[in-house]
């Protein structure tokens, strides 16, 4: 009997969800079977952090808040109520938590719930752990990573971000944003990898692998492919605007990075704010079930975007009540509600009245629990606040921030080789609204300790210590008055050259933002009097170098024609000021290339490189037709020569095609060349792009060095969606274009 009990005991003990030796899937099933419907729905609920709530409610007690007009962060819910809800297992995750202490406070409350299910702590760690209040390593934004054309760096950035997140008790990042963005009026272009599906796919996959690694290790976090789908190319650039797009464009342009994310094993998705073809993404069964789960076999979970389930009722008006909105979202496939009240009670009611089955709730909750087990949060829910200090902002992480910032910089103009400057130059005038502040951090970053950030002015002084830098503080973008401009000109006249750092302000916690989330502009010229400042100093006969710090492509036609040097640095992160200075003084030869088209004006929008043959068949009667700077454009301090393009002249349909080409550095500077391979289907049953990027790599070459580069054109990239939208490879001739027509050649597909 003892033996049997013993076996029974050990067997029943081993079949307990708390047993770490069981698989995450088994543990999730065992736990699910023990939960009440209330506990299950609690796992679908996400709230904003307690500190956020405390800021909103001040020192008001529950009673005072309920009787006041302030209402706190959530109408009539006090932070102490949320703490109680955590203890009752009514909340499964939090977002926008300030620091590790707040994380640990909430996890301790969760450990008081019946099944002690730990919370998932989520944050928008888009290009580093930027929302972590005490400060972490902040890298170039995604458009800058894409400008570096080095997916291994994107992966390393994600790995470091994940490490710093886990060290501070966070488990889930709402990143990468793998939307295709093609309208620079939109405020979030800087948060994306630009206009090309291959670039977005490869950088997105690299970051997902960097964030998630082997999820069971303590240095990895859940990634989130967002926003699904098509919100990155919004009507009139307005965030959230309704998208009415063809199935063809979905399949050719917007879907590929998300399918690649699923194939890379991304744990979570985030639905997009907007509707697609009449159905809001948050209630879109075609997207969330037919495509995402049935066609792509996604097994993770989907989080709503910010109160977007309620917006099915309040904004999209496809749900007469909030409860209907909750039902539509769950039926479509939203697993987690971001955020707050209006969901928990309503969903339990829906289940009790039979509108939603408990099986459907199980389907929604199962992956959430499975990933909590995979992350190991049951075993280790708390942050070790001592460990955090030794993990964040290490020299190695800072070096990565500098290295990735260097690679992200694109040289747009360098007339007469004015750059790089000599370090013997006596006197340089420095001004512009982005010359000495934290705008280089971009969006999704809290204000950082000044010691952690190298501004452009600080970088210039560090890199050329013998030069006198006359700094003129022209204040913010909208404070550049005629008087300020006159004073600036007077001061600039004393210098040999002027460096003007202009562009946008994406800093979330400032009140003169021009870019970033929900910062849409109906124009893409430099905001305020920035260009007037540049013109005034230029017209005073002082050579001007323009440095752009910006989160969207800008209309730079006059600048490109008149200003000798223009450097596109995007939002290069903590070390951005140093990287920019190294480019200015030649310590680093810029090798970045644009991942997105720069239009001449807002009137030229929407432009992208992979357009159909008829796009520019007709020209404007006034002004130039076509973009100012094309996708893939960028200059260097050296030059490269291509030769020896080799590949098979004929392949069988379905085969990949191997390519080799030689690149030689024929100039005097060490530098990087981004080798891009484009494909053109010479004749096809439906129209196809004039060219499509199918492979790329970034190569470093010393002066005189010649390297052979091997690349592959995958069969899938030779395919098209035919008239019936069936993906197929049509036999016939294909043209290979190397870079901007450096070399080309043709091959036949039998």
Q: Residue 124 or 531: which CB sits closer to ligand GLC? A: 124
Beta strands in 61-111 (DSSP E): 93-95
Site for ligand GLC contains 124 (CB under 6 A): yes
Q: What span, in angstroms and rounded, lies between the C-alpha atoms of 55 and 34?
A: 37
CB of 73 to ligand GLC, least distance (A): 14
Exposure of 519 in the CB half-sphere (CA atoms within 13 A): 27
Site for ligand GLC contains 196 (CB under 6 A): no
Cis omega (within 30 of 0) for bond into 229: yes
Site for ligand GLC contains 179 (CB under 6 A): no
Other CB atoms within a 10 A radius of the CB of residue 724 amount to 7
CB of 226 to ligand GLC, least distance (A): 6
CB of 240 to ligand GLC, least distance (A): 9
* Chain-centre distance for alpha carbon 534: 31
Count of residues that interact with ligand GLC, criterion CB under 6 A: 6
Q: Residue 226 or 680: which CB sits closer to ligand GLC? A: 226
The residue written with tokens 């770490």 in the block is: 20
Site for ligand GLC contains 305 (CB under 6 A): yes
CB 621 within 8 A of CB 728: no
Q: Residue 226 or 461: which CB sits closer to ligand GLC? A: 226
Positive or negative: CA dihedral 317, 319, 320, 323: negative
Helices (H) and strands (E) in the chain, counts: 24, 26
Q: Residue 127 or 578: which CB sits closer to ligand GLC? A: 127
CA distances from 617 to 383, 497, 606, 620 (A): 60, 43, 16, 10
CB of 497 to ligand GLC, least distance (A): 41
Q: What span, in angstroms and rounded, lies between the C-alpha atoms of 3 and 438?
A: 68
Binding mask 61-100 for ligand GLC (x = CB under 6 A): ----------------------------------x-----
CB of 740 to ligand GLC, least distance (A): 34
Write the CB contacts of 736 (distance below 8 Å, at least 6 apart in sequence).
645, 647, 659, 677, 678, 679, 713, 744, 745, 746, 747
CB of 237 to ligand GLC, least distance (A): 15
DSSP 108-136: HHHTTSTT-PPPEEEE--SSBSTT-TT--
CB of 187 to ligand GLC, least distance (A): 11
> Degrees (nearest 5) of the Cα angle 476, 481, 482?
150
Q: Residue 95 or 594: which CB sits closer to ligand GLC? A: 95
Q: Residue 163 or 339: which CB sits closer to ligand GLC? A: 339
CB of 168 to ligand GLC, least distance (A): 17
SS3 157: helix
> Which residues are registered as beta bridge partners of 720?
728
CB of 49 to ligand GLC, least distance (A): 11
Q: Residue 98 or 305: which CB sits closer to ligand GLC? A: 305
SS3 146: helix
Site for ligand GLC contains 142 (CB under 6 A): no
Question: What's the residue count for the chain?
Answer: 750
Q: Residue 131 or 371: which CB sits closer to ligand GLC? A: 131
CB of 125 to ligand GLC, least distance (A): 10
Q: Which of 152, 329, 135, 126 is nearest to 223 (CA)?
A: 126
Q: How far apart are the first and last CA of the chain?
A: 73
Residues numbered 447-476 forming contacts with ligand GLC, rule: CB under 6 A: none
CB of 95 to ligand GLC, least distance (A): 6
CB of 702 to ligand GLC, least distance (A): 42
Q: Which of 122, 97, 91 is nearest to 109 (CA)?
A: 91
Alpha-helix runs per DSSP H in 498-622: 530-539, 557-562, 576-584
* Encoded tokens for 178: 């793998």
Q: Residue 180 or 463: which CB sits closer to ligand GLC? A: 180
CB of 124 to ligand GLC, least distance (A): 5
Site for ligand GLC contains 691 (CB under 6 A): no
Q: For 521, which DSSP code?
A: -
Q: Residue 174 or 373: which CB sits closer to ligand GLC? A: 174
CB of 305 to ligand GLC, least distance (A): 5
Which strand (E) or helix (H) includes residue 280?
strand 279-280
Residues numbered 490-509 forming contacts with ligand GLC, rule: CB under 6 A: none
Q: What span, in angstroms and rounded, lies between the C-alpha atoms of 334 and 309?
A: 9
Phi, psi of 279 (to 5 degrees): -125, 120
Q: Residue 272 or 328: which CB sits closer to ligand GLC? A: 272
Q: Residue 240 or 629: which CB sits closer to ligand GLC? A: 240
* Encoded tokens for 748: 């036949």
* Chain-centre distance for alpha carbon 198: 15
Give the residue, chosen from 226, 600, 680, 691, that forms a contact with ligand GLC under the rule CB under 6 A: 226
CB of 85 to ligand GLC, least distance (A): 20
CB 484 within 8 A of CB 537: no
Site for ligand GLC contains 306 (CB under 6 A): yes
Q: Residue 280 or 543: which CB sits closer to ligand GLC? A: 280
Q: Residue 305 or 413: which CB sits closer to ligand GLC? A: 305
Site for ligand GLC contains 174 (CB under 6 A): yes
Q: Residue 147 or 304: which CB sits closer to ligand GLC? A: 304
Site for ligand GLC contains 669 (CB under 6 A): no
Binding site for ligand GLC (CB under 6 A): 95, 124, 174, 226, 305-306
């Amino acid at each position: 009997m003892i033996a049997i009990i013993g076996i029974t005991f050990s067997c029943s003990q081993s079949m307990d969800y708390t047993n770490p030796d069981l698989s995450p899937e088994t543990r999730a099933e065992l736990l699910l079977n023990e939960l009440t419907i209330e506990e299950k729905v609690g796992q679908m609920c996400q709230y904003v952090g307690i500190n956020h709530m405390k800021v909103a409610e001040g020192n008001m007690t529950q009673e005072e808040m309920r009787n006041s007009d302030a209402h706190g962060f959530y109408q009539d819910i006090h932070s102490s109520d949320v703490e109680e809800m955590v203890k009752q297992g009514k909340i499964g995750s939090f977002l926008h938590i300030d620091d590790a202490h707040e994380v640990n406070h909430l996890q301790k409350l969760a450990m008081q719930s019946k099944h002690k299910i730990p919370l998932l702590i989520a944050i928008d760690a888009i290009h580093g752990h930027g929302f972590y209040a005490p400060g972490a390593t902040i890298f170039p934004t995604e458009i800058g990573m894409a400008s570096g054309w080095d997916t291994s760096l994107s992966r390393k950035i994600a790995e470091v971000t994940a490490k710093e997140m886990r060290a501070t008790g966070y488990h889930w990042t709402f990143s990468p944003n793998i939307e295709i963005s093609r309208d620079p009026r939109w405020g979030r272009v800087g948060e994306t990898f630009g206009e090309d599906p291959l670039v977005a796919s490869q950088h997105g996959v690299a970051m997902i692998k960097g964030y998630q690694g082997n999820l069971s290790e303590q240095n990895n976090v859940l990634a989130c492919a967002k926003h699904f789908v098509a919100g990155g190319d919004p009507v009139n650039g307005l965030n959230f605007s309704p998208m009415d797009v063809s199935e063809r464009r979905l399949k050719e342009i917007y879907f590929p990075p998300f399918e690649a994310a699923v194939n890379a094993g991304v744990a979570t998705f985030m639905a997009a704010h907007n509707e697609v073809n009449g159905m809001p993404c948050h209630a879109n069964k075609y997207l969330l079930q037919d495509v995402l789960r049935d066609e792509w076999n996604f097994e993770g979970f989907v989080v709503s975007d910010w109160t977007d389930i309620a917006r099915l009722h309040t904004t999209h008006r496809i749900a007469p009540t909030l409860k209907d909105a909750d039902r539509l979202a769950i039926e479509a496939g939203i697993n987690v509600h971001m955020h707050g009240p209006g969901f928990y009670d309503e969903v339990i009611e829906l289940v009790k009245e039979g509108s939603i089955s408990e099986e459907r709730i199980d389907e929604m909750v199962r992956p959430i629990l499975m990933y909590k087990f995979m992350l190991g949060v049951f075993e280790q829910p708390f942050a070790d606040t001592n460990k955090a200090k030794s993990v964040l902002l290490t020299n190695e992480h800072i070096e990565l921030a500098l290295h990735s910032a260097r690679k992200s910089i694109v040289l747009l103009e360098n007339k007469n080789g004015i750059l790089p400057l000599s370090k013997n130059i006596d006197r340089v005038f420095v001004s512009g609204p982005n010359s000495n502040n934290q705008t280089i951090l971009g969006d999704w970053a809290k204000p950082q300790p000044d010691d952690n950030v190298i501004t452009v002015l600080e970088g210039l002084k560090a890199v050329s210590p013998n030069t006198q830098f006359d700094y003129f503080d022209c204040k913010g973008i909208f404070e550049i008055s005629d008087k300020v401009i006159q004073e600036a000109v007077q001061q600039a006249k004393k210098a040999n050259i002027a460096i003007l750092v202009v562009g946008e302000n994406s800093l979330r916690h400032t009140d003169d933002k021009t870019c970033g989330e929900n910062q849409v502009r109906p124009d893409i010229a430099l905001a305020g009097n920035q260009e007037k400042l540049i013109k005034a100093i230029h017209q005073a006969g002082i050579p001007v170098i323009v440095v752009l710090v910006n989160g969207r492509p800008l209309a730079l036609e006059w600048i490109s024609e008149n200003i000798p040097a223009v450097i596109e640095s995007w939002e290069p992160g903590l070390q951005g000021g140093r990287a920019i200075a190294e480019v200015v003084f030649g310590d680093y030869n810029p090798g970045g290339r644009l991942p997105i088209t720069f239009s001449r004006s807002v009137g030229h929008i929407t432009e992208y490189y992979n357009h159909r043959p008829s796009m520019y068949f007709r020209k404007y009667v006034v002004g130039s037709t076509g973009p100012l700077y094309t996708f893939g454009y960028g200059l260097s301090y050296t030059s490269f020569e291509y030769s020896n393009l080799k590949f098979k002249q004929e392949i069988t349909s379905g085969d990949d095609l191997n390519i080799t080409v030689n690149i030689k550095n024929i100039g005097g500077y060490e530098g990087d060349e981004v080798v891009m391979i484009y494909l053109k289907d010479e004749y096809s049953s439906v129209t196809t792009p004039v060219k499509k990027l199918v492979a790329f790599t970034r190569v470093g070459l010393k002066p005189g060095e010649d390297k052979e580069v091997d690349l592959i054109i995958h069969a899938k990239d030779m395919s098209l969606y035919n008239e019936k939208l069936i993906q197929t490879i049509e036999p016939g001739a294909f043209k290979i274009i190397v870079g901007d027509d450096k070399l080309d050649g043709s091959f036949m597909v039998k």
